[in-house]
Amino acid sequence: MTRQQTLQAPTYDCRKAFAEELIGLARQDERIVAVCNDSVGSSNLVRFREEFPDRLINVGIAEQDLVGVGAGLANGGMIPFVSAAAPFLTGRALEQIKADVAYSGARVILCGQSPGMAYGELGPTHHSIEDLSWLRAVADLPIIVPADPGETRAAVRWAAGNDGPSYLRIGRHPVPAIGPEQTEFVLGRSIQLRQGSSATVIAAGTMVSRALAAADLLSTESISLRVINMSTIEPLDGEAVLKAAAETGAVITVEEATTTGGLGAAVAAVLIQHQPVPMRILGVPRQFAPTGGTDFLLEYFGLTAAGIADAARTMIRHARS
């Protein structure tokens, strides 16, 4: 994708891709059920319900029950996609995610909808910026943050076929398609989107297209940024991280999440132990966001192409001086 394309490309709500792919899979496999918490609309599952009324289980506004019921459905041989707004799914039901799903090894696909600051003005209660941190602390739970509709579809297909638990973070904030649609999602494999040698930006979810745009901005300044889409947060593609560190000498991570325990922390843990290089972690610092829409908040926290480019410039200047 060229600079012009990244700035002007049409954008998509990944929830739509999620729902379409889920319906397609449900047509082929009657074990697939959707479980939600009064979130039929916000999970984009209205059409799923129309086509499979019995296989849309709505437990009402009850997230602990939601996740436990999902684990029970899995025990009974179904393949449940447990879908709810990410802050409530992962916050309210964290112990169910730990005990009933991850520790029990239940084949439940946890679908955190509208993560990050997608709920903008609704405020920090509705922002899901902590999910990556607290789910990374839970063992045996793959964490996947697709970057665009194509990767969302591929991740949904992968999760449906995976005999174990997983967490899919399904974005609401519009993103452009970042590249050729993946036919197959491979857990734990990152995708290098730009070659680059001056520094590496490792991004996830909504931030991937912005990292590409940052690379475009810097290309006119003789700075060549490597851009990696790290859509699997756990298990992390440590090999790609180390290769990038060795070949570019500086790493920036960027995520629509707190900087305390998500992608940045995962990458830092690899680098500090094996290949220490200068690093910056971009995300939401340890604070509750002020009032504002999603675009405003992303800009407020520097989670834009310009913000990423600034961070890269500063790092590279520092390294050269």
Partner 1 sequence: MTGILLADRSRAEEFAAARRRLADLGREEAIQAVADLARRVRLSDLDMIGRARLGHIGGDFSVADILATLYGAVLNVNPAWPDDPERDRFILSKGHSAGALYATLAHCGFFPLAELDSFAQPLSALNGHPNRNKVPGVETNTGPLGHGFPVAVGCALAAKLQRSSRRTIVVLGDGELQEGSNWEAAMTASHYGLASLTAIVDRNRLQQGAGTEETKQLEPLADKWSSFGWEVRAIDGHHHAQILSSLEPSQSGQPVCVIASTTKGKGVSFMENRVEWHHKVPSPDQIVAARGELSA
Please report, as ranges, the residues that interact with partner 1 according to CB under 8 A.
33, 54-55, 57, 59-60, 62, 64-78, 80, 95-96, 99-100, 103-106
Closest CA to 67 of 52, 53, 55, 81: 81
Closest CA to 16 of 173, 179, 191: 173
CB of 80 to partner 1, least distance (A): 8
Cα distance from N-terminal residue to C-terminal residue, the chain: 32
CB of 63 to partner 1, least distance (A): 9
Distance from the Cα of residue 222 to its chain's centroid: 30
Beta bridge partner(s), residue 58:
36
Question: Could you give the CA distance from residue 245 to residue 51 in angstroms, rounded to a whole number?
Answer: 49
Closer by beta carbon to partner 1, 106 or else 267: 106
Closer by beta carbon to partner 1, 69 or else 263: 69
- CA count, 13 A, side-chain hemisphere, 192: 14
Closer by beta carbon to partner 1, 66 or else 156: 66
Q: What are phi and psi of 174, to 5 degrees?
A: -60, 135
Q: Residue with structure tokens 């967490």?
A: 167
In this structure, are residues 303 and 259 in contact, taking their beta carbons and an 8 Å threshold?
no
Q: Residue with structure tokens 């709920």?
A: 119
- Please give the single-letter amino acid code of residue 289: A
CB of 66 to partner 1, least distance (A): 8
CB of 75 to partner 1, least distance (A): 5
Closer by beta carbon to partner 1, 52 or else 185: 52
CB of 114 to partner 1, least distance (A): 22
Q: Which residues of 50-70 are buried (b: 16+ CB within 10 A; e: fewer)?
A: eebeebbbbbeeebeebbbbb
CB of 62 to partner 1, least distance (A): 4
Closer by beta carbon to partner 1, 68 or else 205: 68
Closer by beta carbon to partner 1, 49 or else 313: 49
Closer by beta carbon to partner 1, 124 or else 164: 164
Question: Could you give the CA distance from residue 171 to residue 231 in angstroms, rounded to a whole number?
Answer: 12
CB of 178 to partner 1, least distance (A): 36
Beta bridge partner(s), residue 225:
199
Q: At what angle do helices 14-28 and 149-161 cross, to 10 degrees?
A: 30
Closer by beta carbon to partner 1, 69 or else 241: 69
CB of 29 to partner 1, least distance (A): 13
In this structure, are residues 294 and 118 in contact, taking their beta carbons and an 8 Å threshold?
yes
In this structure, are residues 256 and 205 in contact, taking their beta carbons and an 8 Å threshold?
yes
CB of 77 to partner 1, least distance (A): 6
Closer by beta carbon to partner 1, 63 or else 130: 63
